[in-house]
Structure 1
Amino acid sequence: MNIKQTFAIVFFAVALPFFFYSCSKDDDEIVTTPTEEEEEEDPVVITESVYTWIESEMRENYYWYSEIPAASSLNYKLGVLDFFDSLLSSKDGKHNDSSDYFYSYIESTSDVSASTKSISQTDYSYGFEFQIYNMVDQNDNPLGYSYAHILYVVPNSPASEAGIKRGMWITKIDGKNITESNYTTLLGSTATKFTMATFETDKRFVAAGDINISSARAIEDDPVHYHTIITDEKSGKKIGYLVYNHFTDSKTDGDEKYNKELLALSKEFAGVDEFVLDLRYNGGGLITCAQLLSTILAPSSALNQTFCNMTFNDKQSPRTYNLSYAKSLISTGTNLNLSKLYVLVSNRTASASELVINALRPYMGDANVILIGEQTEGKNVGSETFENTTYKWEMHPITCQIYNSKGESDFYVNGFTPKYQVAEIDHLDKIFDFGNTDEIMLSTAISIINGTYSATKASTRSTTTQLRRGKSSLERKATNGVVVDGIRQTAKQ
């Protein structure tokens, strides 16, 4: 069997992937029981060797391998997805009253264009990210329709060309209410018409007419979405502000385009008095991008010191690998030597974003990594990619836990709780363009910096309409990271 293993450390956010199965006639064949994802497809034939490969790699590399059931207890006639899930530990992912999902996953690589976890940062879409809000009555009963709130718009996209902006609302798609059955159209489809609205404190939702948008197309979503330097009138301080939406190094493997952009920006930010890092829509990505960003932001005393440690299962030798704030990483950029960092976060902030927070705390001091927003996801683990090129399957099991230089990790398994708690849903009339100093999250950070912050003012809700947060396009976006090959192999060289 031609099996290729590609090792990579990458952090994961949860999505709802579509899987496409391949088959081979080289081995004995078994007919599997279709999973829910397969119900609308023809019966799938999968070779027994696929199961052997999955089980073997998992027993060797899975972080919680000791909790995999004995072979005699496994059902090798399950569909591949269900078989993979049957190997997973309850420690993998989130399993509680409000959430139930694993971090580890497996997907077919037979149709890369169909995969929602494609490693490419060229996204086929309209070019905007959104949050669905389900409408409910005063008794919290669903009204059967939803509105989509625009979180950000990618430049040079159908959305930007149509005049769609951050903070706008889509209330209908081609004249029809947004529901559970059609909201995925917003991810990208044919040319259509959106009915728009704005939200104002006194008038609630106000109709804003219709917008015609062209067909979805290939869109490049640069993680360095927005940056500026703000001069605060009250304090006179220069405040660096960066919106960084996913930890990705390049558009295509090897060109380091986005990392080079970060390095160039570091020079522009040199000399700022304070820094606000906006990670509220960042669900994670590459550990090496987190390492680079942190090296730019860290105090100079942290350079060449430990950034993080990755601990693998006890079958691995060595078991622990180290990444540092290597000064060589920023040879074409600069270190900002920050003693304090303000980080804007939300419930969508996860994994590599949380690593930046955790890794900087030992060097800045816990109190000087100041979080503003909502409780984060809580992902302190990493995953590697294992690919079977013969049968076109790729799996991404959790294989390590990530610690900062002080050995801290477990304490944020349920997420970081911000000192300054601000939720966008409570201030929907203040969701403006990035960089607007009246925007709720940025204005909160600035008020803390200049000493005018009022807890009472920040906690005052401006939203009166009954809304409940639903699905978000960010669930899909957060999984589109490019994996990093050879972390362990490089360390051994």
Structure 2
Amino acid sequence: MMRNIKILTLLCLVSILNISCFEDNDDNQIAANAISDFVWKGMNVFYLYKDNITDLANDRFSSNAEYAAYLNSYSSPESLFESLIYERETVDKYSWIVDDYIALEQQFQGVSTSNGIEFKLFLQPNSSTDLVGIVRLVLNDSDAEAKGVQRGDMFNAINGVPLTTANYSSLLSASSYTINLATYNDNGTAENTDDTVDASGESIDLNKLEYGENPIYYTNIYEVNGQNVGYLMYNGFIANYDTQLNNVFANFKANNVQHLVLDLRYNPGGSVNSAILLSSMITGQFNGEIFSTEQWNSDFQTALENEDPELLINRFKNNDDGAALNSLNLDKVYIIATNDSASASELVINSLDPYINVMHIGDYTTGKYQASTTLYDSENFTREGANPNHTYAMQPLIFKSLNKIGNTDYDNGLTPDILMNESYLNLGIIGDANETLLATALADITGATSKLTLLKSTTSPSFTFFKDSNSFERFGNEMYVEKPLPNNILNHTILE
């Protein structure tokens, strides 16, 4: 999504919409809620689905008094913002407003508070209320890693209190808590009607500390049938780590990697620029060609098309701010992606697809193709000059991404080439050649059809999914862009 977009001149837009105070017909000032004024103005200018929201129409208000009354009819900036969202449950599940943009900025930089466990919550067998948590990942250099938490660990209680659909949020949102470990008991039968989750008597105390996650979780090179296969588990498109990402590809290149397995199974997204750089490192032969294009609301789209259509195009690169990219020039890539893979992860798959053979292994992805920006309460909605009297900011969807041939709107996610689900009772070790999803990629690379058939036929007890740890991170699935618009991009009247 698009963050810190630099529009230095809004001119007519800002002059027309800058109405925190108004004059009514009797020349009396009418005070409107300043934050709500910021909310409406920002959504009117940038919101992707503006055309679908009657209250965001340019001619919605016939007078300043009517506009002021409208703003004051909402009890809070949050309630106004929510009223302007298009089909919250199905289309726009991702636009947000916050009252603390400092925390938001830190999260975009990969800094937050975390105890280091990523987990999924499932309903326990034969229950509609009792939950069990399974650790899917332990973050490097985290409190959980130091305490010995392992991928695949199961817990059914927090601080001795059994986890349920009613209490999970309050228990797991605490800054410190104890996970009470458990085991899965199938009672020696093939059916799951008698399966239980039993307390093991062990527990681990965890503390959420300020944590900066390096998205480069694990990397390795495997020698398979005389060929070198690079493997990278990449857990977030965080611009601060682009140089380190380039160094990983330098190592791949130096070791003559002929195949690449890119593991995005838990990657919720992030910087579009990082997605472009990663895709350019995988390839390299498409420098300057279209990576993706953008579609904004009709007013903004028209302005961009009239002033500089190139601003709607993101292109493959061969350098990062002058530093040459280490590109592999591959014509095929294996990408592990699941329903936990979102936004910028999906952008990589979708945008590479018209150019090279993308072998998607795993599950259907999240289905998030829209991008957002952080809007601040300033004259041009940027951080500079933000109103010092509050720390509200918005993160509305502002455009949707299309690949070179126009593919977008994949609401149900991207379809895997090899459908393969993780078994949460046998997750395996990340980077181990026998871990199911990596083993599937390696089997396809080597043409081991019998092993591939065996992997596909492996079954395990199924769980009913409830929530995962990303749901505790409000902006876990963001996709943003950092590119300036020229000073004159809106140097004309959009509202005619």
TM-score, normalized by length of structure 1? 0.78
Residue 307 of structure 1, CA deviation: 1.5
Contact 2:115 2:208 in 1 (8 A): yes
Contact 2:51 2:297 in 1 (8 A): no
Structure 1 residues 88 and 371, CA, compared in 2 at 3 Å: closer, same or farther? same
In structure 1, runs of 5+ residues without a counterpart are 10-25, 29-45, 251-257
| Seq. identity, % | 26
Q: Distance in 1 between matches of 2:232 and 2:5?
A: 30
Which residue is equivalent to 2:120?
Answer: 131
Root mean square deviation of aligned Cα: 3.2
Q: Distance in 2 between matches of 1:87 and 1:297?
A: 40
- Give 1:347's match in structure 2, choosing from 339, 343, 346: 339
Which residue is equivalent to 1:223?
Answer: 215
Q: Does 1:331 align with 2:323?
A: yes
Contact 1:200 1:206 in 2 (8 A): no
Q: Which amino acid aligns with 1:69?
A: T
Aligned positions of 1:113-152 closer than 5 A: 113=103, 118-137=107-126, 141-142=127-128, 144-152=129-137
Residue 107 of structure 1, CA deviation: 1.3
Q: Secondary structure at the match of 1:136?
A: coil
Residue 208 of structure 1, CA deviation: 5.3
Structure 1 residues 343 and 439, CA, compared in 2 at 3 Å: closer, same or farther? same
Determine which structure has more spread, i.e. the larger CA radius of gyration.
Answer: 2
- Give 1:488's match in structure 2, choosing from 465, 480, 485: 485
TM-score, normalized by length of structure 2? 0.77
Q: Which amino acid aligns with 1:66?
A: D
Aligned positions of 1:167-246 closer than 5 A: 167-184=152-169, 185-186=171-172, 189-190=175-176, 192-197=178-183, 209-232=201-224, 235-246=225-236
Q: Distance in 2 between matches of 1:396 and 1:101?
A: 12
Q: Which amino acid aligns with 1:259?
A: D
Residues 368-389 of structure 1: CA deviation (Å, up to 9, x unaligned): 1011111112222211221113
Contact 1:145 1:179 in 2 (8 A): yes
Which residue is equivalent to 2:258?
Answer: 273
- Give 2:100's match in structure 1, choosing from 101, 109, 114: 109
Which residue is equivalent to 1:404?
Answer: 403
Aligned positions of 1:44-55 closer than 5 A: 48-55=33-40
Contact 2:155 2:180 in 1 (8 A): yes
Structure 1 residues 468 and 47, CA, compared in 2 at 3 Å: closer, same or farther? farther
Number of aligned residue pairs: give it: 427
Q: Secondary structure at the match of 1:488?
A: coil
Which residue is equivalent to 2:348?
Answer: 356
Residues 292-327 of structure 1: CA deviation (Å, up to 9, x unaligned): 1111002x3212222222232332322442221111
Contact 2:106 2:112 in 1 (8 A): no
Q: Distance in 1 between matches of 2:179 and 2:285?
A: 54
Residue 196 of structure 1, CA deviation: 4.1
Which residue is equivalent to 2:492?
Answer: none
Q: Mean alpha-carbon deviation: is it higher for 471-480 or for 355-364?
A: 471-480
Which residue is equivalent to 1:77?
Answer: 73
Residue 123 of structure 1, CA deviation: 2.3
Q: Secondary structure at the match of 2:226?
A: coil
Residue 210 of structure 1, CA deviation: 1.3
Q: Secondary structure at the match of 1:363?
A: coil
- Give 2:246's match in structure 1, choosing from 253, 263, 267: 263
Aligned positions of 1:3-22 closer than 5 A: 6-7=4-5
Q: Distance in 2 between matches of 1:75 and 1:63?
A: 21
Residues 89-133 of structure 1: CA deviation (Å, up to 9, x unaligned): 23xx652xxxx86222211127x45x6984342221211111111
Residue 83 of structure 1, CA deviation: 1.4
Residue 211 of structure 1, CA deviation: 3.4
Which residue is equivalent to 2:444?
Answer: 448
Residues 151-208 of structure 1: CA deviation (Å, up to 9, x unaligned): 1111222211111111221222222212234434445522535324378997986865
Structure 1 residues 94 and 297, CA, compared in 2 at 3 Å: closer, same or farther? farther
Residues 375-412 of structure 1: CA deviation (Å, up to 9, x unaligned): 112222211221113232211221112122233324x2
Which residue is equivalent to 1:369?
Answer: 358
Structure 1 residues 418 and 56, CA, compared in 2 at 3 Å: closer, same or farther? same
In structure 2, runs of 5+ residues without a counterpart are 8-19, 23-30, 190-194, 378-385, 490-496
- Give 2:143's match in structure 1, choosing from 158, 182, 193: 158
Structure 1 residues 214 and 53, CA, compared in 2 at 3 Å: closer, same or farther? closer
Residues 245-290 of structure 1: CA deviation (Å, up to 9, x unaligned): 111112xxxxxxx111101101111121211111111111110110
Residues 54-82 of structure 1: CA deviation (Å, up to 9, x unaligned): 21221222122222224469674333222
Contact 1:444 1:453 in 2 (8 A): no
